[in-house]
Amino acid sequence: MTEQLSLFKEQIFNLEDIATKTKWQSFRYIDLFAGIGGIRLPFQRLGGTCVFSSEIDKFAIETYKANYNETPHGDITQIREDEIPNFDILLAGFPCQAFSIAGKRKGFEDTRGTLFFDVARILKYHKPRVFLLENVKGLLNHNKGETFKVMIDILENQLNYKIFYKVLNAKDYGVPQNRERVIIVGFLDHSINFKFPEPFENKVIVGDILDKEIPEKYTISDKIWASHQRRKEEHKKKGNGFGYSLFNDKSPYTSTISARYYKDGSEILIEQKNKNPRRLTPREACRLQGFPESFKIVVSDNQAYKQFGNSVPTKMIGAVADEILKALRSKYEE
């Protein structure tokens, strides 16, 4: 392990030190659409106790159980609100779906049949002090912005939360990945002052997450490499920038890793001297999302790529979590 990589791991993955910054540690939270616990992890390290989790993907459940010693409940649409224990904070990286009649301002009726409705009904029943929602940047413009307007209207005017939202980029928060996500934070107490975290001063680069010794199986074949180059040239002739993306250890950051990375690795290929480029290893993908070295990868490479591609940059979520706890501490521990 290089000294550079060792330093990266020490600085990026040691979130326990954040917990010492706040005394508000006795909170309970729930983890909806849990995936592999990317949103859960920072709140756990801040001293919180997860009292309920929900996930439907059997392979994600396998990884979740291995890392948190907990088997998530199944389909949240089939779980009643009163079956969920009381909690202080709701966490959800929910999938974005079209609202069937979004824009007609019928509130909850606009969102029935979507997973946001399940978030809203749980908030309505339990009235937790705070929630954190995460989604793709495109949510802001989904259905010409009507989807987001309906969501915010429900959260603010029907559920009475004070809402803060902002698009954050993972590359500003300790991982070398250009990944923009909208973060929505809501407080039941409207007098609480909250601000989103400032970008980190210390930057990392792609080389900080790369291993030196790489198994040959991660080098792409001549056939796939030729296919990547051909498609990129075809797109170039059409005037667009689609195709593979190539990075090296000096690159400031990669493009966004996606759930389809397992197919051909085209969005993030790593240069190699005198040979074809390679894909990231699952462990490097793990680091690219800010998970600790201790995080157990217990599934196949393909499933691991899907899981990390679907997850969140944990260091970015950790920075937001830190600000949430600071705001709560300032209000309730004055």
Going from the N-terminus, what domains does the chain have, and what CATH number goes with each? 3-202+312-332 (3.40.50.150), 206-309 (3.90.120.10)
Neighbour count for residue 244 (Cβ, 10 Å): 20
**Quick check: 262 and 301 in contact, CB under 8 A?**
yes
Over residues 20-39, mean pLDDT = 81
Give the C-alpha separation, 326 to 254, whole Å: 31
Over residues 311-327, mean pLDDT = 97
Is 286 one of the annotated active-site residues of the chain? no
Determine which one of 15, 50, 76, 96 is catalytic. Answer: 96
Cα angle 9-15-21, degrees, rounded to a multiple of 5: 140
The structure tokens listed for 44 are 């756990």
Give the C-alpha separation, 307 to 302, whole Å: 9
Task: Report pLDDT for 240.
Answer: 65
pLDDT digits (tens, 9 = 90+) for 53-82: 999 999 999 999 999 999 999 999 999 999
pLDDT digits (tens, 9 = 90+) for 90-104: 999 988 766 544 445
Helix (H) or strand (E) holding 30: strand 28-32
Q: Which residues contact 66 (CB under 8 A, 6 or more apart)?
A: 296, 298
DSSP H helical ranges for 190-260: 222-237
Give the C-alpha separation, 44 to 62, whole Å: 19
pLDDT digits (tens, 9 = 90+) for 147-201: 888 899 999 999 999 999 999 999 999 999 999 999 999 999 999 999 999 999 9
pLDDT digits (tens, 9 = 90+) for 8-18: 544 444 443 43
The structure tokens listed for 193 are 């002052």
User: What pTM did the predictor assign?
Assistant: 0.88
Q: How many helices (H) and strands (E) does the chain have?
A: 12, 8
Over residues 235-243, mean pLDDT = 66
Over residues 8-33, mean pLDDT = 59
